[in-house]
C-alpha cells in the first residue's frame, strides 16, 4: 500500500512539473527575472508630428531679384574757384535749386578793384599802340626822302608790334579779372537738391587741390539704381538679345524701397558694364527711374526685379521646406504610408513668396514644411496637413471646418 502511494505521488509531481514547463514555454508563467525585464523594456517612441503640404503647380512669371542702391545721375561738389571771404549764403539746407541759382557770394571788392586796374592797363596799352602806329607812319614818309636811316624805321616798326602785344596782354588780364569777379558769385551747376552749407559766412576760403567743399548738389529726377547680376543671368539676357548695351530695352525692370511692398517703381535698363568682375563673378548694371516725388534719395537700399519672361507652369513650395545638405538642396517627401523620403531638388527663384522647384519634385507630392530638422529618411511620421501658401503649422481650411462642426 505504501509503495502504491509513493508511486502515485511521484506521478502527480511529474505531471505538475510537465504542466509548469509547458505554461512557462508559452509565456503564461514567467520567472521573476523575466517579469522584471519585460516591465523595464522601454516602449517604442510615437511618430514625430510634422506639418506637411502638397507641392503646388501654378503658372508663374519668373523674375530675377537683386539688391541695389539708388544713385544720383549728377553729383557735384561745389568748391571755391577764387580765394576770399564768404559774404553770403543764399540757400536753406536741403533746398531744391535750379541750375544757375546763387549759392554763395565771396567778397567781390578785391576782384572789382583788380578788374578796374586791368581795364586801366588796357587803356594805357591801347594809347601806346596808337602812338607806335603814328611813329611808324611818320618814319615811312621820312624814309622815302632819305631823311632817316633804315634802322630808325625798323625800330618804330618793332615798337608798333610790341605795343600791339601789350594791348593783347592787357585784354587777357581784363578777361581774367572778369572771370575772377564772376567766380565770387557761386551758382548751382545743376538742377537738384543742395546739401548743407559746409562753410558759413565770415570764413576765409582758398583755391587749389585743398580747396574746401562748400556744399554738394545732387540731381533729383531721374535717378539711377545700380545693382550687380551674376554671370548666368547675364548670359541668359544675352541669349535673349540683350548683348552688351544693345537690346537692353527688352528687359523689364522694377524696384521697391525697403519700406515698400513689392516693386511699385517701373524703370528701364540704362547700361550694362563692359566687363565681368572675376573676383565676385558679377557684372554691374544701371537702371533709370523717374523720381518726380523725390522719394528716391541717393544711397537708399533698393530691391530690384528684372528679366521677367512669359508665364509658364512651375512647381512651388514654401522656402522653409527646403533643407541644405552641404552643396545640395533637398526636401522630405511623405508617401502614402507616412514614410519620409529624402529628395534632392534644383531650385529656381522666389515668386510671390514661394520657391520654384525646377527638378526633383512633382505636383501634389506631400513634403514637410515645418519640423524638417526632426525628420530622418525612411522614418514614419505623424503628418498634419497644412496649406502650402500659409504659415507652416496652421491647419488647412478643411481642418478648421471639421473642428468647427465638432463643436
In tens, the pLDDT along 170-208 reads: 999 999 999 999 999 999 999 999 999 999 999 999 998
Residue 68 lies in a domain: no
Per the omega criterion (within 30 degrees of 0), is the bond before 222 cis? Answer: yes
Kindly list the distances between the CA atom of residue 183 and the CA atoms of 79, 85, 104, in Å, as whole numbers in the listed order.
10, 13, 10
**pLDDT tens-digit series, residues 86-105:** 999 999 999 999 999 999 99
DSSP class of residue 296?
Answer: -
Number of domains into which the chain is organized: 4
Q: Which residue segment(s) compose the domain that 326 sits in?
A: 51-59+313-406
Whether residue 91 lies inside any domain: the answer is yes
407 has a pLDDT exceeding 50: no
In this structure, the answer to whether residues 91 and 182 fall within a common structural domain is yes
Cell 531679384: give the residue.
Answer: 65
In a domain, 156, yes or no: yes
Confirm if 285 and 226 have CB atoms less than 8 A apart: yes
- 360 & 402 share domain: yes
Count CB-CB contacts under 10 A for residue 285: 25
Q: What is the pLDDT of residue 38?
A: 47
Q: What are the b/e assignments for 181-217, b being 16+ CB within 10 Å?
A: bebbebebebbbbbbebebeeeeebeeeeeeeebbbb
Burial environment of residue 237 by CB neighbours within 10 A (0 to 12, 13 to 18, 19 or more): buried
- The three cell numbers of residue 366 are 506631400
- Residue 284, domain CATH: 2.40.30.170
Q: Going along 35-94, which residue ranges are E strands?
A: 48-54, 56-60, 64-72, 75-78, 84-89
| Same domain, residue pair 127 and 110 | yes
| Residue among 300, 217, 311, 221 at smallest CA distance from 258 | 300
Of 273, 174, 285, which Cα lies nearest the Cα of 228? 285
C-alpha span between 388 and 373 (Å, rounded): 18
Residues 197 and 256 in one domain: no
pLDDT value at 250 more than 60? yes
- Could you report the per-residue pLDDT of 205-245, keeping only the tens digit for each? 999 888 999 999 999 999 999 999 998 888 888 877 676 67
Closest CA to 203 of 85, 45, 321: 85
Q: Which of 168, 157, 154, 169 is nearest to 133 (CA)?
A: 157
Same domain, 240 and 351: no
Tell me, yes or no, whether 119 lies in a domain: yes
Q: What is the pTM of this model?
A: 0.64
pLDDT at 32: 52
Amino acid at each position: 500500500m505504501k509503495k502504491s502511494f509513493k508511486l502515485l505521488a511521484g506521478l502527480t509531481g511529474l505531471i505538475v512539473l510537465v504542466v509548469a514547463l509547458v505554461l512557462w514555454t508559452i509565456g503564461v508563467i514567467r520567472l521573476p527575472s523575466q517579469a522584471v525585464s519585460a516591465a523595464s523594456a522601454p516602449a517604442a517612441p510615437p511618430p514625430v508630428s510634422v506639418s506637411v503640404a502638397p507641392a503646388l503647380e501654378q503658372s508663374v512669371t519668373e523674375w530675377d531679384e537683386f539688391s541695389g542702391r539708388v544713385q544720383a545721375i549728377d553729383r557735384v561738389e561745389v568748391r571755391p574757384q577764387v580765394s576770399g571771404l564768404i559774404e553770403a549764403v543764399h540757400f536753406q539746407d536741403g533746398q531744391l535749386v535750379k541750375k544757375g541759382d546763387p549759392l554763395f557770394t565771396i567778397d567781390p571788392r578785391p576782384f572789382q578793384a583788380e578788374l578796374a586796374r586791368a581795364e586801366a592797363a588796357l587803356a594805357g596799352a591801347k594809347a601806346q599802340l596808337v602812338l607806335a602806329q603814328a611813329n611808324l607812319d611818320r618814319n615811312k614818309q621820312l624814309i622815302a626822302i632819305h631823311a632817316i636811316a633804315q634802322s630808325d624805321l625798323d625800330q618804330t616798326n618793332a615798337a608798333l608790334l610790341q605795343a600791339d602785344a601789350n594791348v593783347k596782354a592787357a585784354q587777357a588780364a581784363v578777361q581774367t579779372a572778369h572771370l575772377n569777379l564772376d567766380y565770387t558769385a557761386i551758382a548751382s551747376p545743376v538742377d537738384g537738391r543742395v546739401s548743407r552749407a559746409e562753410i558759413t559766412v565770415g570764413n576765409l576760403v582758398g583755391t587749389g587741390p585743398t580747396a574746401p567743399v562748400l556744399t554738394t548738389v545732387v540731381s533729383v529726377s531721374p535717378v539711377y539704381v545700380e545693382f550687380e547680376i551674376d554671370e548666368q543671368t547675364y548670359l541668359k539676357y544675352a541669349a535673349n538679345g540683350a548683348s552688351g548695351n544693345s537690346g537692353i530695352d527688352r528687359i523689364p525692370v522694377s524696384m521697391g524701397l525697403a519700406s515698400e511692398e513689392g516693386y511699385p517703381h517701373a524703370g528701364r535698363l540704362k547700361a550694362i558694364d563692359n566687363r565681368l568682375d572675376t573676383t565676385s563673378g558679377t557684372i554691374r548694371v544701371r537702371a533709370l527711374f523717374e523720381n518726380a516725388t523725390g522719394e528716391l534719395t541717393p544711397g537708399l537700399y533698393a530691391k530690384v526685379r528684372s528679366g521677367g519672361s512669359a508665364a509658364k507652369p512651375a512647381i512651388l513650395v514654401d522656402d522653409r521646406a527646403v533643407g541644405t545638405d552641404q552643396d545640395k538642396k533637398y526636401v522630405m517627401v511623405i508617401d502614402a504610408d507616412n514614410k519620409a523620403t529624402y529628395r534632392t531638388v534644383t531650385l529656381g527663384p522666389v515668386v510671390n513668396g514661394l520657391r520654384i522647384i525646377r527638378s526633383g519634385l512633382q505636383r501634389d507630392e506631400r513634403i514637410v514644411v515645418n519640423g524638417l530638422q526632426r525628420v530622418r529618411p525612411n522614418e514614419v511620421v505623424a503628418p498634419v496637413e497644412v496649406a502650402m501658401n500659409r504659415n507652416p503649422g496652421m491647419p488647412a481650411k478643411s481642418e478648421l471646418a471639421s473642428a468647427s462642426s465638432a463643436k
